[in-house]
Chain A
Amino acid sequence: MSVISTQKDTEKLTLEFVAEFAAPVQRVWQIWEDPRQLERWWGPPTWPATFTRHELSVGGESRYFMSGPAGEKSAGWWKTTAVNAPTLLEFDDGFAGEDGEPSGYLGTTHCVVTLEQAGEETRMITTSYFESLEQLEEMVKMGMQDGMSLAMGQIDALLV
């Protein structure tokens, strides 16, 4: 299992998630940088993501939507706020409307990603900052959609 540790702060509503991958830092960076790779893991298997725009430069914008099994769509956006390839990426993340553009709904979350070499592995630390419980709840719904990944994660946790 490549998940090393997680740290929750229920007061500030932040989550730090640390995982390690047996691959070079440059290779792990590609799964963030290349939209074709990113969309294969960002959404759950039943709700795959499609990135129609992806600019990893400061001020750069990304647009994506996730497609459900019955043709439903939920859209989101990122704005890159800091980048230092291949070790640092920071972005704001929010909900988009039917036109795919930021809707302002429930504000923005912030995510900081760092990649560092740890022996033979690459350690990836993602820290998510939420503004409110309601926003966190919507992000959970969007990231999970059918609730299956939650169940899978729990089974996984039991097996470790």
Chain B
Amino acid sequence: MVVDELSDSEIDNIFHALADATRRDIFKQAMSREQSVSELARRYAMSFAAVQKHVAVLERAMLITKEKRGREQIVHSNPELLRRATELLDAYQDIWRGRTERIEEILFEPEREVES
């Protein structure tokens, strides 16, 4: 999947998927390590079917992927999205690095010290 080319409806799906606390938590679990739906279901005070529905919503939003392994369904986070998030946060961090340098220049201007 190419994250750069998300359509409006795909973005809507992601927003909808992450608008729920349980789904955010499931997503977080899936990011920390792959695990089965039944393993996930044990974490929450809700039925297996309810957890399975939440997983399906996350899957539709392409935040996670599911694969059958024997009788289990294994949930993974979508590494592509994660990589994209890391890249963009790195870039934003560099923006702040640039801002910090410019702030320093302003703070240590000799003339401004005379003024103040």
Contact = CB atoms under 8 A, between A and B. Distances in A.
Interface of A: 2-3, 6, 8, 10-11, 13, 15, 17, 19, 21-23, 27-28, 31, 37, 40-42, 44-45, 126, 128, 131-134, 136-137, 139-140, 143-144, 149-150, 152-154, 156-157
B57 to A, nearest CB: 16
Contacts of B107: 21-23, 27-28, 31
6 closest residue pairs by CB, A with B: A153-B94, A41-B102, A143-B95, A10-B85, A149-B98, A8-B89
A153 B89 CA distance: 13
Contacts of B86: 8, 10
Nearest to A128: B92
18 contacts: A3-B100, A10-B82, A11-B85, A13-B89, A17-B96, A19-B96, A21-B103, A23-B107, A23-B108, A31-B106, A31-B107, A37-B106, A140-B91, A144-B94, A150-B94, A152-B94, A153-B95, A156-B97
A41 B94 contact: no
A17 B97 CA distance: 9
